[in-house]
Amino acid sequence: MHRSGSWWGAARRGLGGALSAASLACAPVALRADDVAAARVAARAGVDVFELHASPGAAADVGWRLQLGHARTFVGSGLVAQALRLQRVGEHVGLGLAWEQRTSPVHRDDAGVVVLQRRASIWQLGCGARLRRVLFDGYAPRLTSEFHLGAGFRARQQAIVVRARRDTSVRVDLGLRLSLHRDVRLEVQQIREPGFLTRTRGALTLGAAPLAFHVGYDVATRVAAAGVAAGGRRHRLIYAARTHPELGWSHTWMLEWARPSASR
């Protein structure tokens, strides 16, 4: 009886751990594949519609950019994320490629991302795809795909971006970027999805190279975030931390190498 009880207790603990990891892996605030290891997104409390890899309609700068990111999600949970992203944006065409990975003691989640964008002087249109492979210990891997479309319009430092994507339902994100001052920028993102209340995220950026600060807040989840970016136009280190009222805090860093176009 004692041996049987030991086996039953171990089985229950293992099942509980797997369910906890699954719940965390699906938590919308921290483990969205498009923002998990992007420090700029984390510092802005999840505002991601202005990042090319997450949003095909983003008003990305002309030139190329390479990013290497690492995140500790809900510190103490064992959840770790890393990402490698490359984007090349010309006057008329933009391309984004990425590899992203999330791991915990009982699971592994890998994703490949491709984004294509058609650009003109004041607008951009694009499409993107994310292919994911999720593996929990003791189970067969699960393959999923997600496709999204985007459109954006820009005038000077102002920008409007719309993104639509479908996984289990159609989700539409609307983003607005306003330049309040030479070195002060406000970004707001609204998320509309069937069956959920409209969710709003906001972020403020203060400063420019060589030093900029980000603060953000997600109204629906009560997530607060902050970050700092240090460096020039070609090399930059970005660090971000954010808190969740129940799940704790996460932190992310990202190294970025860039070569902006000489014409801009």
Most confident of 19-23, 81-85, 196-200: 81-85
Pairing status of strand 123-136 against strand 223-231:
unpaired
What is the chain's Cα-based Rg?
Answer: 19
Q: Is 12 helix (H, G, I), strand (E, B) or coil?
A: helix
Chain segment 130-145, per-residue pLDDT in tens: 999 999 988 999 999 9
Q: How many domains does the chain have?
A: 1
Whether cis (ω within 30° of 0) applies to the bond prior to 260 is no
pLDDT of residue 223: 93
Q: Where do we find the tokens 């890393």?
A: 82
Chain segment 236-257, per-residue pLDDT in tens: 999 999 998 888 899 999 999 9
pLDDT of residue 262: 61
Complete DSSP assignment for 120-177:
-SSEEEEEEEEEEEEEETTS--EEEEEEEEEEEEEETTEEEEEEEEESSSEEEEEEEE
Average pLDDT over residues 207-220: 93
For residue 126, the enclosing domain spans 2-260
* Residue of higher predicted confidence among 54 and 11: 54
Residue 96 has pLDDT above 90, yes or no: yes
Residue 34 has pLDDT above 70, yes or no: no
Chain segment 144-201, per-residue pLDDT in tens: 999 999 999 998 779 999 999 876 678 999 999 999 988 999 999 999 988 888 999 9
Phi, psi of 261 (to 5 degrees): -65, 140
pLDDT of residue 15: 39
pLDDT of residue 36: 63
Q: Which residues fall within 8 angstroms of residue 121, CB to CB, at 6 or more apart? A: none
Residue 263 has pLDDT above 60, yes or no: no
Complete DSSP assignment for 169-233:
SEEEEEEEEEEEETTEEEEEEEEE-TTS--EEEEEEEEEETTEEEEEEEETTTTEEEEEEEEE-S
Q: Which of 131, 162, 168 is nearest to 149 (CA)?
A: 162
Average pLDDT over the chain, rounded to whole? 85
Phi, psi of 15 (to 5 degrees): -65, -40
Burial of 177 (0-12, 13-18, 19+ CB in 10 A): buried
We report the CATH number of the domain holding residue 69 as: 2.40.160.40
